[in-house]
Each structure stands twice: as C-alpha cells, then as structure tokens.
C-alpha cells in the first residue's frame, strides 16, 4: 500500500495547481506570449509579471533555506555534475517547440481546461516524449551521451549562492536573495502599465507564492521512512509525462505532488473558464496545424527533460532555488522561441537558413 505522505503531497499539488490554473486563466498569462510580446512587439509588460513572480518566489524560497526548512542539496536542482550541453540543447528545443505550439507546458494545461482539444493532443504527445526521454527509449541518449559531458561540481552546495559563498569565503545567501528578489520585484512594478493591470499583477503574485507553497508543503509532508522523495514545486514537463503514465499504466503513480499539480491546473482553468463564460470546445483547423502541434509538443517534451524543466520549472522554480541551470535554461528557451517564431514567419527551417546564409554572404 502506498504511503499516506505521497497522497497528501498529491492533494497539496492538486490544490496548488487548481489555484494556479484559475489565476492563469483569469489573467490570460502565458510565458510564450510574454516572450513574443517582448521580442516582436517590444512590450515587456507580461514578461515583467514573470519577473515579479520570480522575485516573490526567490524571496520566499530562500527564506525557507535560511530557516532550515528546505535544503537545496535535496532537490533536483543541485546535481553533483552540471549537464551544460544537455541543458543548452534541451532548452533551445523546448523554446522552438513552444513557438510551434503557441504556448508552454503550463499554457497547454490551461488551454485544455478551457475546452481546447488541440491541447489534449499536445499534452499526450508532450507527456509521451517526456517520459521516453526520462525513463524510456530516449533515456540512453540522455544519460549515456549528453550527460557524459557534464561539468563536475564541488561538494557542499551547487546552487549559485553556495558557489559564490565558497568563492568569497563567507555566507552570501541572504544578501544575494534580498538583492535579487527585491530587485526583480522593483523592476517589474516600475512599469506603470503593469501597475494599472491588476489581473496581471495578481497572477504574478499568485505564481510566486504558489511556487513557495510547493516547496513548503513537499518539505513538510515528506516522510523519510516511506522512501526517497525530493522536495519539489511547480514544473510541467516530467510531471505531465508521469501523469500520462499514471493514467495509462499505474494508478499508484497518481500519488505525487507533480501529478496532482498537473490535474489541478486543468481543473482550475476549467472552473475559471466556466465562471467567465469562456469555456468553448476547439479543435485543429487542418492537418498542417496538427503537424505543427505534433512537432512542437515532441520538442517540448524531450527538450524539457534535457533542460531540467519548462519555462515555469526552470524560469521560476529553479530560479527561486538560485539553481546554476536557471540562467542557461532561460536563455536557451528565449533563443529557441525566437528561432521558432522565425521558422513560423519564414514558413520552414530551410527557408530561414537560406535567408540567413544569403544575408551572411551578401547574396540576394
């Protein structure tokens, strides 16, 4: 019989995911939309919402670390070796896939909750690709090849604050957390237009608090005697894969915080859409759109595992932990999203490469 701790964590994930799905649907917040607004339209408002969320999550999470409630070394964001090549390749692939689908993993779950059947297709493909890279037929490629190029890290802490503290010879975590967290919040709220959009500000605050809540509950509810179970918070790649696996193969796998958060996000978005009268069944317009979503979902699933998370899992959750992977993964996802947008605009990767080649060598 599965231990009660796992099911309690699953219920906490369901509650946190429900609150997240409700808030994101009400605010119409989307990580890819925020990146697209900034890169194409020069509008940083929605991107600042994620900066606000990160600032709040960082302050809350680091307070937990300093209080001794959360140990970074026990999380998945403090590896003994840093798989830089895997993170770079995976994050760029995830960014391209995000552009092809038009949203990230969290956004796909929220869309599914509003009746978008295209997202049902995306969630299943993303989950299958993620599980194949995590534990299936692609796992040997990840472990046996890409992660062989990992950079060894020193013992005694491998997050950014721990590495800086080791380098300077004294504890810098409180200073780094305060400066980074407060700085991000100030940077976000400096935008007058954002301050005049309370639904976005509320969503940013909710996202930051919910990431912190995830760390708290999975730390408190963890039962060391029942088996190893890392503290975790919101992330939507491996958890989607585990949810698909649980539904198809193993009911006991539903006893997991991440699986609960996936289901909760869908349900929260459904409730929000119903209350606002925005629930509507939608499907693919044609086979071309379906192929685009198929490729994008596969890239997000496989790439997200290589990168160690999605735009939320790396961009907010890993960032709150000051994980070394965080800046590399975020930069790769933004670059991948920009490449994906270019592919969509130029209609095909071949056309994009041809145009860049022509520009490089001065050919028309």
pLDDT tens figures, 73-88: 889 998 889 999 999 9
Q: Is the model's pLDDT at 222 over the cut of 90?
A: no
Question: Which letter, b or e, does each residue of 224-258 get, where b requires 16 or more Cβ atoms within 10 Å of its Cβ?
Answer: eeeeebebbbbbbbbbbbbbbbbeeeeeebbbbbb
Buried b (16+ CB within 10 A) or exposed e, 155-192: eebbbbbbbbbeeeeeebbeebbeebbeebbeebbebe
Q: How confident is the model at residue 199 (pLDDT cuts 50, 70, 90)?
A: very high
pLDDT at 350: 52
Q: Looking at residue 79, what is its pLDDT?
A: 87
Lowest mean pLDDT among 58-62, 217-221, 271-275: 217-221
Residues 25-47 have a mean pLDDT of 94
User: Quick check: 174 and 66 in contact, CB under 8 A?
Assistant: yes
Q: What is the pLDDT of residue 227?
A: 56
- Is residue 140 classed exposed, middle or buried when 0-12, 13-18 and 19+ CB atoms within 10 A define those classes? exposed
Instruction: Name the nearest CA neighbour of 131 among 209, 240, 212.
Output: 240
Q: Six-digit token pair at 55?
A: 């600032």
pLDDT (0 to 100) of residue 245: 94
Predicted local confidence at residue 229, as pLDDT = 75
- Angle CA 89–237–288, to nearest 5: 75
pLDDT in tens, 232-260: 999 999 999 999 999 998 898 999 999 99
CB-CB neighbours of 342 under 10 Å: 17
Query: CA 268, 273, 274, 275 torsion: positive or negative?
Result: positive
Summarize pLDDT for 103-160 with one digit per residue, the tens.
999 999 999 999 999 999 999 999 999 999 999 999 999 999 998 889 888 876 689 9
- Mean pLDDT, the chain, rounded, equals 92
Q: What is the pTM of this model?
A: 0.92
Coil, helix or strand for 262?
helix
Q: Which two tokens stand for residue 50?
A: 């994620």
Selection from 220, 256, 221 nearest residue 240 by Cα? 256
Per-residue confidence band for 54, with pLDDT thresholds at 50, 70 and 90 = very high
Pairing of strands 151-152, 81-82: antiparallel
220: three-class secondary structure by DSSP: helix
Q: What is the pLDDT of residue 50?
A: 97
User: pLDDT category, 4, cuts 50, 70, 90?
Assistant: confident
CB 273 within 8 A of CB 23: no
pLDDT exceeds cutoff 80 at 360: no
pLDDT score of 364? 42
Q: What is the pLDDT of residue 226?
A: 58
DSSP sequence for 149-204 = GPEE--SS--SHHHHHHHHHTS--HHHHHHHHHHHHHHHHHT-HHHHT-HHHHHHH
Task: Give the Cα separation of 252 and 230 in Å (integer).
Answer: 18
Q: What is the b/e burial string over 28-57, where b = at least 16 CB atoms within 10 angstroms of the residue's CB?
A: ebbbbbbbbbbeeeeebbbbbbbbbbbbbb
* Euclidean distance between CA atoms 128 and 134, whole angstroms: 10
Strand partners, 151: 82
* pLDDT for res 1: 43
Q: Note the Cα 100 to chain centre separation in Å.
A: 17
The candidate with the shortest Cα–Cα distance to 261, out of 154, 105, 135, is 105
Minimum mean pLDDT range among 168-182, 301-315, 347-361:
347-361
Helix extents (H) in the chain: 4-27, 31-41, 45-66, 84-101, 105-113, 117-134, 139-144, 160-168, 173-189, 192-195, 198-220, 238-248, 257-275, 287-307, 319-320, 325-346, 349-361
């Amino acid at each position: 019989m599965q231990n009660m701790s796992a099911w309690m964590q699953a219920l906490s994930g369901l509650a946190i995911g429900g609150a997240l799905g409700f808030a994101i649907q009400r605010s119409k917040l989307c990580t890819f939309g925020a990146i697209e607004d900034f890169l194409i339209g020069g509008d940083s408002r929605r991107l600042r919402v994620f900066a606000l969320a990160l600032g709040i999550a960082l302050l809350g999470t680091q307070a937990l670390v300093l209080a001794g409630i959360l140990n970074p070394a026990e999380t998945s964001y403090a590896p003994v070796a840093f798989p830089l090549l895997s993170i770079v390749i995976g994050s760029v692939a995830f960014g391209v896939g995000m552009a092809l689908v038009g949203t990230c993993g969290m956004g796909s779950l929220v869309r599914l909750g509003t009746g978008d059947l295209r997202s049902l297709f995306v969630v299943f493909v993303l989950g299958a690709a993620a599980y194949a890279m995590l534990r299936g037929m692609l796992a040997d490629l990840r472990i046996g090849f890409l992660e062989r190029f990992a950079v060894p890290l020193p013992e005694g802490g491998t997050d950014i604050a721990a590495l800086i503290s080791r380098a300077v010879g004294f504890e810098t975590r409180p200073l780094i957390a305060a400066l980074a967290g407060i700085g991000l919040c100030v940077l976000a709220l400096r935008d007058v237009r954002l301050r005049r959009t309370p639904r976005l500000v509320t969503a940013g605050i909710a996202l930051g608090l919910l990431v912190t809540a995830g760390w708290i509950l999975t730390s408190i509810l963890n039962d060391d005697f029942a088996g190893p179970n890392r503290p975790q918070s919101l992330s939507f790649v491996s958890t989607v894969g585990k949810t698909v696996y649980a539904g198809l193969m193993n009911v006991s796998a539903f006893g997991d915080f991440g699986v609960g958060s996936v289901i909760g996000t869908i349900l929260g978005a459904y409730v929000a859409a119903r209350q606002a009268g925005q629930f509507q069944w939608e499907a693919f317009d044609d086979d071309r759109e379906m192929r685009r979503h198929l490729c994008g979902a596969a890239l997000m699933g496989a790439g997200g595992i290589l990168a160690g998370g999605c735009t939320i899992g790396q961009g907010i959750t890993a960032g709150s932990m000051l994980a070394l992977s965080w800046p590399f993964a975020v930069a790769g996802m933004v670059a991948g999203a920009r490449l994906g947008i270019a592919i969509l605009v130029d209609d095909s990767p071949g056309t994009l490469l041809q145009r860049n080649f022509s520009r490089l060598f001065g050919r028309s």
